[in-house]
Amino acid sequence: MSADNCNNVNPIDIPMNAEIRSNASIHPSDSISNKYILVPVKSGFWKYLLIGMILLLLLFSLTCNLTFWGMITDSIKPSKYGIQEKFYSGDESGSDKIAIISVIGTIEEGEDYKDYIDSAMNDKDVKGVVLRVDSPGGTVTGSDYILNRLNQLRKKKPIVVSMGGLACSGGYYISMCVGNEKDSIFIEPTGWTGSIGVIISRYDASELFNKKLGVFEDPITSGPNKAMGSPLIPLSDEHRKIFQDLVDDAFIRFKDIIKEGRPRYAKNPQELDDLATGQVYSANQALKLGLVDKIGFLDDAVERICDLAHISQKTAKVVKYTKEASFKDMLFSIQQGDKPCVVEDVKKVINKAASPRAYYLWQM
């Protein structure tokens, strides 16, 4: 910039990334203002300033998140078996506890609930348990495993069931953990239950592969029944009867378990046979049929278990059991964005198609 132009520069027009330097080549007779020129400054300063501000914002955000997480976990107390106790109601400082164990979603492996049940069983401060069921059921073996563990728990402490929106098939099966205790099964007014029965899901893709694609399964087996149930082989009448016998056997056990938990059906088995068609029942229908005892919410079940445990609901500490998430679980959750994993869903469908299993499950 020339000296003449420098004299005409408005200070407002000077860019922020410029500095004033002495111009030694200017003649001494020129004015002082003409001895300086504007030289642009490299943008590195502003770049580092911006990076510094971003780092400060990230540090501030991390501090806020840690503080918020501390506020949440402050009411969650760890217990044995990797189980955490989240305060629900009553007296947070109370010594007598009521534990809420939740079975939510499809039941796959019964061992998933072993730690919850064992924690309640071995905690001397836990005087009773509310089983919260919101499930369409699941595998026969998984449901039976949970029921078996809960029956062992009931020998030491009373159990009351609180059914949420759905307690069907295997969800109803595990609800028989109350034994023949009166007024021990509650269902919410809009809840559904029932679907008493057994199903083996099977997909027949033999026509598609054999006729359309020209692909045939030709297994080498040790016996004529080893490959039965394959989706690529049509199901013969003989194999269908074998599967039906397996279903009937599991169905008989289902009804026997209900008779233990609902004595009225032991006295009148035909009544149970009439309603055990796989049908789903509303709360009012289930109450009339004797499948449940009361229509009420979780708090009503808590009140009942306190009565059975002979403790005051006001002084009892009611806690919900939750599983402490591992770092791997949290990382996987972040990677998936808390959305269902499509790959896992596809794998489940393939596994069901390839290996038929018996389910106490209501599936639409």
Per-residue pLDDT of 229-245, as tens digits, reads 777 788 889 989 999 99
Please answer whether residues 88 and 119 qualify as being in contact, where contact means their C-beta atoms are separated by less than 8 angstroms: no
User: What is the per-residue pLDDT for 328?
Assistant: 45
Reported as a pLDDT band with limits 50, 70 and 90, residue 227 is: confident
Alpha helices (H) in the chain, listed in sequence order: 3-7, 44-73, 114-122, 140-154, 170-174, 206-207, 237-261, 263-267, 269-275, 283-289, 298-309, 327-336, 342-354
pLDDT, greater one: 297 or 357: 297
Distance, C-alpha 214 to centroid of its chain: 42
User: Which amino acid is it at 153?
Assistant: L
User: Which amino acid is it at 178?
Assistant: V
> What's the rounded Cα separation, in Å, for the pair 302 and 305?
5
**Per the structure block, which two tokens stand in for 192?**
């559904």
Beta bridge partners of 323: 83
User: What is the per-residue pLDDT for 119?
Assistant: 95
Share of the chain above pLDDT 70, in %: 73
Tell whether the model's pLDDT for residue 7 goes beyond 90.
Answer: no
Rg value, the chain, Cα: 34
Q: Is 27 left (phi over 0), alpha (psi -120 to 50) or beta?
A: beta
> What's the rounded Cα separation, in Å, for the pair 129 and 67?
33
User: What is the per-residue pLDDT for 332?
Assistant: 43
Q: What is the pLDDT of residues 321-358, one digit of tens each?
A: 997 655 444 444 444 444 444 444 555 555 555 567 89
Burial (Cβ within 10 Å: 0-12, 13-18, ≥19) of residue 252? exposed
Reported as a pLDDT band with limits 50, 70 and 90, residue 203 is: confident
Angle at 274 between CA 271 and CA 275, to 5 degrees: 95
Reported as a pLDDT band with limits 50, 70 and 90, residue 295 is: very high
> What's the rounded Cα separation, in Å, for the pair 156 and 128?
9
**Active-site residue list:** 169, 226
SS3 state of residue 25: coil
> What's the rounded Cα separation, in Å, for the pair 221 and 64?
63
> What's the rounded Cα separation, in Å, for the pair 97 and 50?
54
State mean pLDDT over 72-89: 68
User: What is the per-residue pLDDT for 79?
Assistant: 53
Judged by average pLDDT, the poorest of 29-43, 105-119, 206-220 is 29-43
Torsion angle, alpha carbons of 5, 11, 16, 19, to 10: 60
Note the pTM of the prediction, 2 decimals: 0.72
Reported as a pLDDT band with limits 50, 70 and 90, residue 14 is: very low
Tell whether the model's pLDDT for residue 311 goes beyond 50.
Answer: yes
Quick one: DSSP state of residue 174? H
Side-chain half-sphere CA neighbours of 171 within 13 A = 29
